[in-house]
Structure 1
Amino acid sequence: MTDIDPIWVPDEAAVQDARITALARLVTERHGVELDGYDALQRWSVEHLAEFWTAVLDLFDVQVDGDRGRVLVDDAMPGARWFPDVALNYAEHALRGDGHELVVVAETEDGTTTACTRGELRAEVGAFAGWLRGHGVVAGDRVVGYLPNGTHALVAFLACASLGAVWSVCGQDYAAGGAAARFAQLEPVVLVAADGYRWNGRVHDRRDEVKALRAVLPTLRHTVGVEHVGLGLPPGAVGWDEALAVPAEPTFARVAFDAPLWVLFSSGTTGVPKGIVHGHGGVLLDHLKLLGLHLDLHDGDRFLWYTTPNWMMWNVQVSGLLVGATVVLYDGSPAHPDPGRLWTLAAAHRVALLGVSPGYLLASAKAGLDPGRSHDLGALRVLGCTGSPLPASSYHWVHDHVGTAVQLASSTGGTDVVSGFAGSSPTTPVWPGEISAPLLGVALEAWDADGRPVLDEVGELVITRPMPSMPIRFVADPDGERYRDAYFSTYPGVWRHGDWVTLTSRGSVVVSGRSDSTLNRHGVRLGSADIYAVVEALPEVREALVIGAELDDGGYWMPLFVVLEPGTDLDATLRDRITAAIRTQASPRHVPDDVLAVDAIPHTRTGKKLEVPVKRLLQGAKLDRVAGRDAVDDPDLLAAFARYAPATGPGR
């Protein structure tokens, strides 16, 4: 392991004031254990899961009915049950507190901004919950949203949760078919849908898509329409204002700890999207830990994570309400009218925690932005980043151009647990190119092919003990076979997530990419992230995609596809510069067999590169078998890679 200095270290005064330090004191007082630093607390939290999660419950004063004495019944995976005798409600905790405090700020791409206090939010939630109840919605019913990221989606979700109904949402960039592939599995009784959304300076009318969606959801009893962009209500919909016309104080049905709260969906790139069901209690406790301890959000802190309703970070952002934060919702492109839009939002709303993608940081650097000087980011304490591995160069860029005092909190996790596995805390240093540590309560290890833990070596990311936010079940999986196959088929009883990671001897975590799209040169496993970190830093390259394809004739082809900046040609000189940079900054083994220019790289709708579908295309699979059209941001881009299949591909 390379010995490098941290690029950010905690301020001692901030460490003493951090809520995670208060938790450590509580553990010491309650259990008589001395916890010297974060690593000791993390180890204790994994070795004493019941005591740790009870401490989280108490630190945040979680209100429950029933007996809290039984915490973890059978810690085998899958099948572990948490707090089986407890009843609670997520929405009750999201809405508790002073009614006069500002809790939501929503801005659309055209600059329209609205805000509401906790009292106003409670009133809207209570009114919509009353409308749902009056129209026959009961605990366990499914309500779905076809909505942009704004206050309407937040209110509808909290109203459902207050009743014990189950919520699911997707953004309107999905066509009706893509939304139906998700929602039809749930047999929803109510649809909440907007007339359209804004993106890159354009208004997108989705009323016809709403009509088409309703036509393929036969279980719907009612549709509530939202005039988000002023086009009028979708046909046959009850107006949002009408649904909120009768004022009501919300009431909260305390439900079983593992009662379903929401359903999230996998990307659907390898088949029908998996419906992943999470419970009230597991989400509540895990998000209190994640946001309240690791990201240290407090009452009144402004919290903006750039996301859409399609991504799990939407769910994480709305949970900012659990710790008293003011959530700042943004509906629009992060690069309109210019690449600095998110920095402008952070400055305008005095954001304390801003969340972005690695791609946004790289784009900001390439655009020559200097937000720490061009914007007033004095309120910004933490810059969160997730979605794909973050190269070391971005850590240095943030330090130099955003602020030396800003903690860059890179993290890794997944929709599967709607949370994180590794990240930062106010008490952990930050090293360039590395995630600071496994999160509290997460038994994270890197395993080799024989199931043995490895240190300072690349291995499979595994979780060896249960987390409360692991799925309750999958939709349409009555015997749990699909659930077991998804996570526990490789190492029985141990969660395999599908990422290559290195746990370093200093306690940090390095993510190298997806293990199902592994690069393997001469028997050595390589991470695609190492190549992207080098190539995407070159000024001529906008984005890159690398694939390692095992071929039927026993050969192996590793092409690198690059999207070039406008006006740039992939000539021999640039090819040589790309391969030389990879050879010297990664290793000779990382050098691709071919460097090929393409117009664009296909992604999932949450922005992840489609490495596995492209790999399958290169191995000769049919286009309609590698990914559903609605799972891809631009299906035509994926189709363009079919011409590199074995019969015609270069390099052989």
Structure 2
Amino acid sequence: MKKLWEASGTFKQKSHLTAYCNWLKRNQGLSFNNYQDLWDWSIENIEDFWVSIWNYFKIKSHSQYNQVLSSYNMPNCTWFGGATLNYSEHIFRQSKPSQTAIYFSNESGINIEISWQELEEKVASMVSYLKSLGVKRKDTVVAFLPNVPEATIAFLAVNSLGAIWSSTSPDFGTESVVNRFAQIEPKVLIAVDGYSYNGKPYDKTNTVKEIVASLPTLKKVILLPYINENALDNFSDAYEDINTIFKIDGGTLQFQPVDFNHPIWVLYSSGTTGLPKAIVHSHGGILLEHFKYMAFHNDVHEGERYFWFTTTGWMMWNFLQSALLMGASIVLYDGCPTYPKFDSLWNFSDDLSINHFGTSAPYLVANMKKQIDIKKAHNLSSIRSISSTGAPLPAEAFDYVYNHIKNDVWLCSMAGGTDVCTAFVGGTPFYNVRSGEIQCRALGVSLYALDDLGNTVEDDLGEMVINKPMPSMPIYFWNDKDNARYKSSYFEDYPGKWRHGDFIKINSITNGLTIYGRSDATLNRHGIRIGTSEIYSAVNKIKAIEDSLIINLELEGGKHFMPLFVKLKNGYGLSEEIKTKINKQLKSDYSPRHVPDEIIEVQDIPYTISGKKMEAPIKKILLKMPIEKSINIDAMRNPESVQFFIEFAKKI
């Protein structure tokens, strides 16, 4: 594969990874010839590796751990038992009062800088207010907010108290939000009155009221007037203005030490049936993982500016906050990335001298398709790295970055998931960037490609499997008795091993990786996982629809195609009116991401004998995999229904 970038000697010498290797040599007498040797050590000596992370980053524990890892039996294992700490406390260890902690802009032209001192004061005010409401450890506080500073402030306050955070973005519909938040019985909701996107304001007043009406455990609702400064006029006196809370004298910010395995937040990843999975991570596991990744795989340094284009409904928002652990400033943007001009984010980067530019693979692909020569119109001299995730980044997009954005930038393609709130695979300054390849498996991630028989393979397509525990793996799913759903989500196909649901190929020569998309039926739509059950729930409300099947295909060149196949009731034909109703229902109930690329009428939807929709087999057929390897006709209730999809695949 073509080499596109190599770190200079100075880059490598100044990197956190080199500093860590030197530290290992001084303190533990360990020397490594290359990154592969270091990775081998990190996964062969998993406990020693994570202890080294603990010591290298000087983790502050209010009581010391008595055991590193209770068991290698996933998921029934715990890390650093006995240790107590606080994630937020480690962020504020980096505080430099007069320096900027948060830069914020939105598409409406608002620009805000928040110093570390102001951040600490506002977090303290929020802590004081939440305490007055009786919020304490293990209570849940949820947010329906855009990517604004108030979201970061609220998260840090909730975390400081040892309470549990969860958030969604305001482009989610009522049902989608309630399906997530109702599971975790929140005590407080922090909401926004609306948001702007692509130059258009979206009033969410009624949505907020509907959400509140569906969450009986709420004790208080805090409102951020965002698109209307008089938004509180539309709500009862029971709602509190967040700006009033920030005027409270919170005194000195205090931190509640919690167990290493205490919940830090709840993220959501939809399965193919039922409610979204409410995934719970731990304070300590996320702290160690984010220190490791930000330092060694993103090389984020004190005083740098770290940007990721994300919403609060994507795990990358949570990941973005951790740049503060490194003493960097986080850069937040709310709005459409291509408004008012397609290259608005690159203008934004120029204006703020961003050092680390994070985005989704579809955004880079969209730039490529527009054939925009970014480097001609923009300086971008401050950018050290461009990070990409959310979908596989095709080789053509790698080439585009170096030919048309910046030729001396470190392109960090990475892949992980909501499940661990980090990347399993990503960047390293010790390897070259090669077209179409992710550089490395991350330290401490014992990841391999397995064939259908469970054998390790290289230079061939296989299932991405992790065979040893990671601290940032979920501690549990909310309301999941005996870890039943947790186990079925990751550990059924390869007993004792985490199957992530991605097809990958590991290059035995370069040690790089290529990801070929999801191997299961979960939809990965522009970096956000969507459960097929959400699509079906909305489509079922359309009177004319009898049944439906949704598939998302990852095609060559970074393209995505998400067709919705519908079986109509007798007497109906697929008219433009019905298509419009379907799209409106999906957008209203959930989000614009749920809207399919095409709606296609079929005579029947394929089912197994036991009554399950055959999403994964049909996806394989549409990806033109051999029929005999795609579907078991004998296990079908209606095998004749498959022929349509075989013919349809020829047209893709």
Into which bin does the TM-score normalised by the smaller protein fall?
Answer: 0.7 to 0.9
1:614 and 1:46 map into 2 onto residues whose CA distance is 47
162-171 vs 54-63, which moves further: 54-63
Contact 1:339 1:363 in 2 (8 A): no
2:603 and 2:489 map into 1 onto residues whose CA distance is 22
TM-score (norm 1): 0.82
1:30 CA displacement: 2.6
Where does residue 94 of structure 1 map in the other structure?
91
Where does residue 264 of structure 1 map in the other structure?
267
SS of the residue 1:496 aligns to: strand
SS of the residue 1:498 aligns to: strand
Is 1:63 equivalent to 2:66 in the alignment?
no
Where does residue 510 of structure 1 map in the other structure?
514
Superposed CA deviations along residues 401-440 of structure 1, whole A, max 9, x for unmatched, are: 1111101110110000000110012222111011001001
1:293 CA displacement: 1.4
Superposed, which structure 2 residues align to 1:350-429 within 5 Å?
350-429=353-432
Where does residue 558 of structure 1 map in the other structure?
none
Is 1:150 equivalent to 2:148 in the alignment?
yes
Contact 1:411 1:423 in 2 (8 A): yes
1:131 and 1:13 map into 2 onto residues whose CA distance is 48
Where does residue 245 of structure 1 map in the other structure?
247
Instruction: State which of 645, 648, 651 in structure 1 corresponds to 2:647.
Output: 651
1:625 and 1:176 map into 2 onto residues whose CA distance is 26
1:385 and 1:614 map into 2 onto residues whose CA distance is 32
1:347 and 1:189 map into 2 onto residues whose CA distance is 41
Where does residue 561 of structure 2 map in the other structure?
545
Which residue identity does 2:491 align to in structure 1?
F
1:441 and 1:618 map into 2 onto residues whose CA distance is 47
Q: 1:528 and 1:651, CA in 2 relative to 1: closer, same or farther beyond 3 A?
A: closer
SS of the residue 1:83 aligns to: strand
Contact 2:564 2:600 in 1 (8 A): no
Where does residue 227 of structure 2 map in the other structure?
229
Contact 1:617 1:626 in 2 (8 A): no
Contact 1:346 1:377 in 2 (8 A): yes
Instruction: State which of 208, 212, 215 in structure 1 corresponds to 2:213.
Output: 215
1:269 CA displacement: 5.5
Which residue identity does 1:11 align to in structure 2?
S
SS of the residue 1:369 aligns to: coil
Q: 1:548 and 1:6, CA in 2 relative to 1: closer, same or farther beyond 3 A?
A: farther
Which residue identity does 2:7 align to in structure 1?
P
1:317 and 1:614 map into 2 onto residues whose CA distance is 39
SS of the residue 2:130 aligns to: helix
Superposed, which structure 2 residues align to 1:485-504 within 5 Å?
485-504=488-507
Is 1:40 equivalent to 2:32 in the alignment?
no
Q: 1:614 and 1:485, CA in 2 relative to 1: closer, same or farther beyond 3 A?
A: farther
Contact 2:101 2:114 in 1 (8 A): yes
Instruction: State which of 288, 294, 298 in structure 2 corresponds to 1:295.
Output: 298
Superposed, which structure 2 residues align to 1:443-454 within 5 Å?
443-454=446-457
Is 1:203 equivalent to 2:201 in the alignment?
yes
Instruction: State which of 78, 94, 99 in structure 2 corresponds to 1:81.
Output: 78
Contact 1:304 1:353 in 2 (8 A): yes
Which residue identity does 1:209 align to in structure 2?
T
Where does residue 470 of structure 2 map in the other structure?
467
Q: Percent identity?
A: 35
- RMSD (Å), alpha carbons: 2.9
Unaligned runs of 5+ in 2: 523-551, 566-582, 616-639
Superposed CA deviations along residues 118-177 of structure 1, whole A, max 9, x for unmatched, are: 111010000001100111001000000011110111111110000000000000111222
1:438 and 1:547 map into 2 onto residues whose CA distance is 33
Instruction: State which of 330, 333, 337 in structure 1 corresponds to 2:333.
Output: 330
Superposed CA deviations along residues 83-112 of structure 1, whole A, max 9, x for unmatched, are: 101110001111222112111011111110
Q: 1:286 and 1:607, CA in 2 relative to 1: closer, same or farther beyond 3 A?
A: farther
Contact 1:547 1:615 in 2 (8 A): no
Contact 1:311 1:606 in 2 (8 A): no
2:66 and 2:18 map into 1 onto residues whose CA distance is 25
1:318 and 1:615 map into 2 onto residues whose CA distance is 44
Which residue identity does 1:420 align to in structure 2?
A
Contact 1:619 1:645 in 2 (8 A): yes
1:290 CA displacement: 1.0
Superposed CA deviations along residues 288-346 of structure 1, whole A, max 9, x for unmatched, are: 11112110111111111111111100001111111111111111011111211111111
Which residue identity does 1:280 align to in structure 2?
H
1:67 CA displacement: 2.0
SS of the residue 1:107 aligns to: strand
Superposed CA deviations along residues 480-509 of structure 1, whole A, max 9, x for unmatched, are: 111011100111110000001011102111
Instruction: State which of 3, 7, 10 in structure 2 corresponds to 1:6.
Output: 3
Contact 1:310 1:605 in 2 (8 A): no
1:614 CA displacement: 9.6
1:647 CA displacement: 8.6
Instruction: State which of 27, 30, 35 in structure 2 corresponds to 1:30.
Output: 27
Superposed CA deviations along residues 260-303 of structure 1, whole A, max 9, x for unmatched, are: 01000014654310100001001111011111211011111111
SS of the residue 2:443 aligns to: coil
SS of the residue 2:481 aligns to: coil
1:19 and 1:617 map into 2 onto residues whose CA distance is 58
TM-score (norm 2): 0.82
Is 1:20 equivalent to 2:14 in the alignment?
no
Q: 1:112 and 1:621, CA in 2 relative to 1: closer, same or farther beyond 3 A?
A: farther
1:111 and 1:404 map into 2 onto residues whose CA distance is 30
SS of the residue 2:176 aligns to: helix
1:208 CA displacement: 0.9
Contact 1:168 1:262 in 2 (8 A): yes
Superposed CA deviations along residues 25-49 of structure 1, whole A, max 9, x for unmatched, are: 1222232222111111111111112
1:617 and 1:358 map into 2 onto residues whose CA distance is 35
Q: 1:48 and 1:169, CA in 2 relative to 1: closer, same or farther beyond 3 A?
A: same
Contact 1:457 1:502 in 2 (8 A): yes
1:247 CA displacement: 1.6
Deviant stretches of 4+, over 3 Å: 267-270, 546-549, 602-611, 613-622, 624-627, 644-650
45-54 vs 131-140, which moves further: 45-54
Contact 2:260 2:284 in 1 (8 A): yes
Contact 1:380 1:406 in 2 (8 A): yes
SS of the residue 1:94 aligns to: helix
**Count of residues in correspondence between the two structures:** 565
278-287 vs 21-30, which moves further: 21-30
2:77 and 2:116 map into 1 onto residues whose CA distance is 35
Q: 1:354 and 1:55, CA in 2 relative to 1: closer, same or farther beyond 3 A?
A: same
Unaligned runs of 5+ in 1: 519-526, 537-542, 550-598, 628-643
SS of the residue 1:516 aligns to: coil
Superposed, which structure 2 residues align to 1:153-172 within 5 Å?
153-172=151-170
Where does residue 538 of structure 2 map in the other structure?
none
1:205 and 1:291 map into 2 onto residues whose CA distance is 36
